[in-house]
Amino acid sequence: MNTATSTPCVVAARPSTWRQFYSLTKPRVLQLIVFCAVIGMVLAVPGVPSGAQLQLALTAALGIWLVAAAAAAFNCVVEQKIDARMRRTAWRPSAAGTISNVRTMGFSALLCALGSAILYVWVNPLTMVLTFATFVGYAVVYTLILKPLTPQNIVIGGASGAMPPLLGWTAMTGVVAPEALLLSLIIFLWTPPHFWALALYRVEDYRKAGLPMLPVTHGLAFTRLQIFLYTLVLFAACLLPFVLRMSGWFYLAAALLLSAGFSAHAFALWRHESDAWARKTFRFSLIHLSLLFAALLIDHYL
């Protein structure tokens, strides 16, 4: 008796609709946004927060998360064709065509309206206005105007990405304080070296997409130098919370170590044209910002 064996064809299952919608919100980016906003909330409150303050912080975090998620989904629609041409983003449901633009825009509008309502009613109008302004700054000013127009897009557009600590601070206090602006300044200066490190090893994607990113317009060597110079300026900015007595010795030690590490990675990248060093620098930039703000949190309670 002949026995024939066949290998079944395995077809990768498409993610559920809800999972696809969730991916449009760029969850990993959202985690860092909300984390930085929460640090702003914590630093705005002297000592241990009360139950009412914790409830306010959770409500504000939810509202900020919803509006930021709306901006990410809107960005996916605007950059649908660009995303489809880039290996890094071609998998997105908007780029792959598995979710229509109409549904994505409706999803974005729903999240933005819900998040804005939560912030206006249960937090304060100032936080709602600033959060919505961040939505416009990222989804419209940066994505539609700056990104396809100038290689300094990430520098100018970084202002909207630097807003989370300020949003968190105003959620708890109802005012724009200098301390919150300093936290935003750190993120503002961190953004170019972080993003340009990514652009270095994705330069062909950006060239194919027709985007004037700095490595495309000014070359790899110039971009590597800019990354290193920015980390030096960022190094100085990261020391300001200690200089201005926002934080203590624990934060200073963490800021020195992390900023020295970021600058060392950027220096190695400057001296060695290598995708490997670009990846290492990009990954360390994420560690730098996450641990720096975590150090601010720990130092606040020491």
CATH label of the domain that carries residue 28 = 1.10.357.140
Q: 145, 176, 207 — which closes off a domain?
A: 176
Residues 93 and 104 in one domain: yes
Query: Model's pTM, two decimal places?
Result: 0.91
Residues 247 and 233 in one domain: yes
Q: Would you say 200 and 224 are in contact if contact means Cβ atoms under 8 Å apart?
A: yes
Q: Would you say 96 and 17 are in contact if contact means Cβ atoms under 8 Å apart?
A: no
The C-alpha atoms of residue 159 and residue 142 are separated, in whole angstroms, by 10
Residues 118 and 147 in one domain: yes
Residues 272 and 158 in one domain: no
- 228 within a domain of the structure (yes/no): yes
pLDDT of residue 4 exceeding 70: no
Residues 169 and 251 in one domain: no
Q: Would you say 112 and 135 are in contact if contact means Cβ atoms under 8 Å apart?
A: yes
pLDDT tens-digit series, residues 147-178: 888 888 888 888 888 999 999 999 999 999 99
Q: What is the pLDDT of residue 14?
A: 65
pLDDT tens-digit series, residues 57-111: 999 999 999 999 999 999 998 888 877 788 777 778 888 878 889 999 999 999 9
Residues 128 and 35 in one domain: yes
Residues 153 and 30 in one domain: yes
Residues 161 and 202 in one domain: no
The CA distances from residue 140 to 24, 137, 146, in Å, are: 17, 6, 9
- 3 within a domain of the structure (yes/no): no
DSSP secondary structure letters along the chain: ------PPPP-PPPPPHHHHHHHHT-HHHHHHHHHHHHHHHHHHS-SS--HHHHHHHHHHHHHHHHHHHHHHHHHHHHTHHHHHH-TTTTTSHHHHTSS-HHHHHHHHHHHHHHHHHHHHHHT-HHHHHHHHHHHHIIIIIIIIIITTT-TTHHHHHHHHHT-HHHHHHHHHHSS--HHHHHHHHHHHHHHHHHHHHHHHHTHHHHHHHT---HHHHH-HHHHHHHHHHHHHHHHHHHHHHHHTTSS-HHHHHHHHHHHHHHHHHHHHHHHS--HHHHHHHHHHHHHHHHHHHHHHHHHHT-
Q: 139, 155, 176 — which closes off a domain?
A: 176
Structural domain boundaries, residue 214: 177-302
Q: 144, 176, 208 — which closes off a domain?
A: 176
- 6 within a domain of the structure (yes/no): no
- 161 within a domain of the structure (yes/no): yes
- 5 within a domain of the structure (yes/no): no
- 241 within a domain of the structure (yes/no): yes
Residues 156 and 139 in one domain: yes
The mean pLDDT value for 22-49 works out to 93
* Total number of domains in the chain: 2
- 143 within a domain of the structure (yes/no): yes
The C-alpha atoms of residue 209 and residue 43 are separated, in whole angstroms, by 41
- 201 within a domain of the structure (yes/no): yes
pLDDT of residue 52 exceeding 90: yes
10-19, 64-73, 258-267: which range is least confident on average? 10-19
Residues 122 and 220 in one domain: no
Residues 193 and 135 in one domain: no
Smallest CA-to-CA distance from 26 within 95, 85, 113, 120 is with: 95
Residues 168 and 214 in one domain: no
